[in-house]
C-alpha cells in the first residue's frame, strides 16, 4: 500500500482568493508529485491567470476527465466551460459559482471512485450560496452527499501536536447553548474516539471535553450546562469504555498547556476551539472532516482576500492538508484490513467470571507449588 500513489482531488475554491496561489506554490516542489497524483478541479484559464500574475513556475497538464490523470504531473480538470472573471481580493457571485461547480464535480467523481481523497481550497460562504448550495460550508455540503445516520461529520482542527473537534460548527453564538445536549456530546465524542483509533492509529485515546460557560459554570453560578448536560455525558462515555475527562474551563485548559496531555479535545462551539488552535498552530493547521466515508481535509485558513494577488500566501497549511489526507487514507486501510477477515476460532471457550474461579489456583500449579 505504501508504494501506491494516492489520487488526491483538490478543488480550487474561490477564484478571487488565495486558492490557486497556495495550490501552485505547493506543487512547485517536485517531491510533491512523488507523494501523490494530484487532480485539480477548477479552471485552467483561471489557474494560468494566477500563475502569470504571481510569476509562479508551476506547470500543469489539462485533462478531460479524472481517469486521465497521470503520475508525475499536476493534472488540471476543467469543471466548467465558460470563462470566469478573476477579480483579485473581491467577493463575487461568479467566483462563488466557480467554487461550487468544482466541488460538485469532485463529489460526482468521488461517487464513481475516481480519486482517493479530497482536499478543498477555501470558499466564501456567502457568495457560494445558491439553490444548489444552501449550506454553512464544505463540511455540511459534503455530509449531505455521503453522510447518513451511521456516518455523521465531525470537524477536527489538527496538527502534529493538537486535535480540536467541535460539538457545534457553523452556528451563531446565541444558538449554541440551546443546541448543546447530552446526546450531542456523546455522539460527537464517540465519532471522535473512533476517528482517533481508525484514522490516527491511537488505540486507547484520551479525550478532554471543554465546558460551555466561563470557569466551567462555577458550580452553577455562571450556568448549569456543565452540571446538567456535560458531566452526565462524560459519565455515560466512561461507562461505554471511552476515556473522556472534564469539563475543563477553556481559558485555563489552553493557557496552562493542559491540552498537551490529551490526544484530542471536544470544544462546545466554533471559536472556543478555533481561536486557541489557530494561535498555537498558525502555519501547519489542517481542517479534517471525520466520521464520513470520504477522507476530506483543507487548509485552516480562509480566502484571505486582503493578500490575494500579492504573492504573500503561505502554502504550508495546504501541503499539510495533502499529507494528512494521504496518511489517514493509508491508516484506514491498515486499520480495516485485519478486521475484514478475522481468524475463525477453532474452539469455544466457556468463561466463568465468578470470584471463586478468578482467584482459584489450577490444581497442577498448586501441587507444583507445594513440592
pLDDT of residue 274: 93
Do 272 and 331 lie in one domain? The reply is no
Pairing of strands 154-158, 163-166: antiparallel
Question: Which region holds residue 145: left if phi is over 0, alpha if psi is between -120 and 50, else beta?
Answer: alpha
Rounded percentage of the chain residues whose pLDDT exceeds 90: 78
Task: Calculate mean pLDDT across residues 39-62.
Answer: 96
110 pLDDT higher than 60: yes
Residue 360 lies in a domain: no
pLDDT of residue 2: 53
370 pLDDT higher than 70: no
pLDDT of residue 136: 83
Give 353's pLDDT tier (boundaries 50, 70, 90). Answer: very low
Q: Looking at residue 228, what DSSP letter applies?
A: I
The CATH number of the domain where 18 resides is what? 3.40.718.10
Tens digits of residue pLDDT in 282-299: 778 999 999 999 999 999
Which is it for the CA torsion 309, 312, 313, 316, positive or negative?
positive
Do 253 and 302 lie in one domain? The reply is no
With contact defined as beta carbons under 8 Å apart, do 127 and 93 qualify?
yes
Residue 68 lies in a domain: yes
340 pLDDT higher than 80: no
Of 265, 280, 295, at which residue does a domain stop? 280
Q: Considering only CA atoms, which of 280, 263, 307 is closest in space to residue 17?
A: 307
pLDDT of residue 369: 41
Do 173 and 256 lie in one domain? The reply is yes
What separation in angstroms does the CA of 331 have from each of 1, 196, 324, 326, 366?
10, 11, 10, 9, 46
Tens digits of residue pLDDT in 290-324: 999 999 999 989 999 999 999 999 999 999 999 99
pLDDT of residue 337: 85
- Between 3 and 99, the higher pLDDT residue: 99
Pairing of strands 206-210, 163-166: unpaired
81 pLDDT higher than 90: no
pLDDT of residue 355: 42
Sequence-ordered strand ranges (E) for the chain = 6-11, 36-42, 61-63, 75-78, 117-120, 154-158, 163-166, 206-210, 243-248, 264-267, 286-290, 295-299
83 pLDDT higher than 90: no
Do 65 and 179 lie in one domain? The reply is no
Of 262, 280, 298, at which residue does a domain stop? 280
Do 264 and 296 lie in one domain? The reply is no
Give 364's pLDDT tier (boundaries 50, 70, 90). Answer: very low
Do 24 and 91 lie in one domain? The reply is yes
Domain count for the chain: 2
Residue-number span of the structural domain to which 102 is assigned = 1-147+284-339
DSSP labels for 113-178?
Answer: T--SEEEE----TTTT-SSS--SSSHHHHHHHHH--SS---EEEEE-SS-EEEESS-S--HHHHHH
Give 217's pLDDT tier (boundaries 50, 70, 90). Answer: confident
- Would you state the cell numbers that stand for residue 341, as one nine-digit string? 477477515
Tens digits of residue pLDDT in 88-101: 999 999 999 999 99
Do 87 and 113 lie in one domain? The reply is yes
pLDDT of residue 85: 92
pLDDT of residue 1: 46
Residue 102 lies in a domain: yes
User: Which of 108-122, 143-157, 225-239 shows the lowest mean pLDDT across its residues?
Assistant: 143-157
Residue 121 lies in a domain: yes
> Cα separation of 213 and 167, whole Å?
14
pLDDT of residue 45: 95
pLDDT of residue 345: 58
The dihedral formed by the CA atoms of 169, 105, 8 and 74, expressed in degrees to the nearest 10: -130
Do 35 and 91 lie in one domain? The reply is yes
pLDDT of residue 218: 86
> Cα separation of 2 and 327, whole Å?
10
Strand order in the sheet with 295-299: 61-63, 75-78, 36-42, 6-11, 117-120, 295-299, 286-290, 154-158, 163-166, 264-267, 206-210, 243-248
DSSP labels for 43-82?
Answer: -HHHHHHHHHHHT-----EEESSGGG--TTS-EEEE--SS
Task: Calculate mean pLDDT across residues 64-72.
Answer: 96
Q: Looking at residue 227, what DSSP letter applies?
A: I
pLDDT of residue 346: 53
Task: Calculate mean pLDDT across residues 42-63.
Answer: 96
Residue 319 lies in a domain: yes
Do 215 and 329 lie in one domain? The reply is no
Give 150's pLDDT tier (boundaries 50, 70, 90). Answer: confident
Residue 364 lies in a domain: no
Task: Calculate mean pLDDT across residues 244-272.
Answer: 96
- Look up the pTM and report it: 0.88
pLDDT of residue 344: 62
Task: Calculate mean pLDDT across residues 249-278.
Answer: 95
Residues 6+ apart with CB under 8 A from 100: 128, 130, 132, 133
Q: Looking at residue 346, what DSSP letter applies?
A: S
With contact defined as beta carbons under 8 Å apart, do 322 and 33 qualify?
no
> Cα separation of 170 and 189, whole Å?
18
- Would you state the cell numbers that stand for residue 269, as one nine-digit string? 462551539
With contact defined as beta carbons under 8 Å apart, do 157 and 289 qualify?
no
The dihedral formed by the CA atoms of 151, 156, 162 and 168, expressed in degrees to the nearest 10: -110
First-to-last alpha carbon distance for the chain, in angstroms, is 55
Residue 350 lies in a domain: no
- Would you state the cell numbers that stand for residue 77, as one nine-digit string? 480538470
pLDDT of residue 3: 61
Do 290 and 253 lie in one domain? The reply is no
Do 209 and 117 lie in one domain? The reply is no
Do 185 and 215 lie in one domain? The reply is yes
pLDDT of residue 343: 63
Residue 209 lies in a domain: yes
117 pLDDT higher than 80: yes
On average, the pLDDT of the chain sits at 90
Amino acid at each position: 500500500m505504501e508504494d501506491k500513489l494516492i489520487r488526491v482531488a483538490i478543488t480550487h475554491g474561490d477564484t478571487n482568493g488565495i486558492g490557486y496561489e497556495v495550490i501552485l506554490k505547493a506543487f512547485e516542489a517536485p517531491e510533491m508529485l512523488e507523494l501523490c497524483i494530484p487532480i485539480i478541479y477548477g479552471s485552467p484559464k483561471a489557474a494560468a491567470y494566477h500563475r502569470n500574475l504571481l510569476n509562479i513556475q508551476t506547470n500543469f497538464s489539462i485533462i478531460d476527465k479524472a481517469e486521465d490523470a497521470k503520475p508525475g504531473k499536476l493534472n488540471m480538470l476543467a469543471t466548467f466551460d465558460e470563462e470566469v472573471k478573476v477579480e483579485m481580493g473581491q467577493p463575487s457571485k461568479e467566483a462563488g459559482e466557480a467554487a461550487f461547480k468544482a466541488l460538485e464535480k469532485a463529489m460526482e467523481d468521488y461517487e464513481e471512485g475516481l480519486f482517493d481523497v479530497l482536499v478543498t481550497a477555501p470558499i466564501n460562504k456567502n457568495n457560494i450560496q445558491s439553490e444548489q448550495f444552501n449550506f454553512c460550508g464544505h463540511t455540511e455540503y459534503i455530509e449531505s452527499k455521503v453522510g447518513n445516520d451511521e456516518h455523521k461529520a465531525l470537524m477536527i482542527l489538527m496538527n502534529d501536536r493538537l486535535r480540536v473537534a467541535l460539538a457545534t460548527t457553523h452556528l451563531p453564538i446565541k444558538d449554541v447553548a440551546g443546541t448543546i445536549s447530552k446526546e450531542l456530546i456523546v455522539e460527537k465524542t464517540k465519532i471522535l474516539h473512533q476517528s482517533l483509533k481508525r484514522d490516527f492509529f491511537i488505540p486507547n485515546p484520551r479525550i478532554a471535553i471543554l465546558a460551555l460557560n466561563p470557569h466551567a459554570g462555577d458550580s452553577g453560578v455562571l450556568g448549569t450546562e456543565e452540571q446538567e448536560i456535560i458531566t452526565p455525558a462524560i459519565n455515560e462515555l466512561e461507562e461505554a469504555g471511552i476515556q473522556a475527562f472534564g469539563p475543563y474551563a477553556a481559558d485555563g485548559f489552553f493557557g496552562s498547556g493542559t491540552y498537551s496531555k490529551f490526544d484530542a479535545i471536544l470544544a462546545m462551539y466554533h471559536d472556543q476551539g478555533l481561536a486557541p488552535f489557530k494561535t498555537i498552530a498558525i502555519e501547519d493547521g489542517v481542517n479534517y472532516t471525520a466520521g464520513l466515508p470520504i477522507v476530506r481535509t483543507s487548509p485552516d485558513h480562509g480566502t484571505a482576500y486582503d493578500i490575494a494577488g500579492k504573492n504573500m500566501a503561505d502554502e504550508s497549511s495546504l501541503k499539510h492538508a495533502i499529507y494528512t489526507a494521504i496518511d489517514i487514507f493509508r491508516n484506514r486501510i491498515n486499520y480495516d484490513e485485519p478486521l475484514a477477515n478475522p481468524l475463525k476460532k477453532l474452539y469455544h471457550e466457556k468463561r466463568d467470571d465468578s470470584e471463586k474461579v478468578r482467584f482459584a489456583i489450577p490444581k497442577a500449579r498448586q501441587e507444583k507449588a507445594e513440592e
